Amino acid sequence: MGLALSSVVKTRARELGFDRIAIGPAEPPEHGAALEAWLDAGYAGTMGYLHRGRADRLNPARLLPGCRSVVAVAMSYNGSTAPDDDWRPVSRYARGRDYHDVIRPRLVELGEFIRTAAGGASRVAVDSSAVLERDLAARAGLGWVGKNTNLLTPSLGSYFFIGIVLTTAALPFDQREPDRCGTCTACLDACPTRAFVAPYVLDARRCISYLTIEHRGDIDGELAEQIGEWVFGCDVCQEVCPWNRKAEPGREPTLGPSGSFGALETLLELDREGFRARFRGSAITRTKRAGLLRNAAIVLANRGERSAAGALSRALGDADAVVCRAAAWALEKLRAGREVAP
């Protein structure tokens, strides 16, 4: 009965568009102590919500009392975006529709299917919930945690989202995936900001994804230069991973790019309403207007885009001080580059 139930749950998950499914125990995560040490070391930067939800992340039963099983699912976002198109400065995961809006309704439907088939209760979680979804997914056998701290699978690489269904139903567990990173350190070596303290340990305060998305306020000049051309997120440690060279293409069309991202100078002209209208339904709203305009100014300077001087000069009068200071930094960098150019 248990194996048959597991089979129908996995079949339903695939029908809902998930690319890989694994089932494991809903026990306190193995790396709970490592999480606490990571938080205590300050590596979370200004992500205070990780501290506030610490207790919940260390015990899934706080989210769903009596939970016994975890159904972990993966949905690939590995699209076919050409590397030279205008979406290049945006991390792959954010080039389409906001993944929360795509995945969460399907997780709810999967949870309801499990409740109907097996009884009991269920609760779903994407990365906005206080659950260590990567840790639970690895224990379930969805993949292994790579040295760049991403979950990896042989078929999907790391270009996928994780969804979790906690359930009080007792389901048979899958076997775990072994760590297949071996001696490879490509991800650690490629990081532009040297954000990895050690294999499997990321100092978010130096991570380009954190700086361009989660961090509020100014970005230190040295780190700003190391951001390179990333306006939102960063895929460097994933792009160099050998497993991603073999990754299957994603099947969900809404996660792929729709339309053009556009010239960066146009971002500097967006007011609050314009920002909301342009990025409605996109994960890019996470960085908020000030963060995105700050990032755009930095990247224009890093590119040496002297034609953007006019837009940057107008941004000096922006109502947000962070945008003003980023524009001033960018203009100074462009002036310095002009002075040393042959």
Residues known to be catalytic: 127
Query: Under a CB-based contact definition with an 8 Å cutoff, are residues 8 and 1 in contact?
Result: no
Q: What are phi and psi of 161, to 5 degrees?
A: -95, 150
Sign of CA dihedral 33, 76, 69, 52: positive
Helix ranges, the chain (H): 2-15, 32-40, 48-52, 54-57, 99-118, 133-140, 186-190, 208-209, 221-226, 236-239, 242-245, 264-267, 272-279, 288-303, 309-315, 321-340
Instruction: Tell me which residue of 72, 47, 48 sits closest to 60, measured CA to CA.
Output: 72
Instruction: Tell me which residue of 109, 117, 89 sits closest to 1, measured CA to CA.
Output: 117
Rounded CA-CA distance 143/137 in Å is 7
Please report, as a single letter, which amino acid is at residue 66. Answer: G
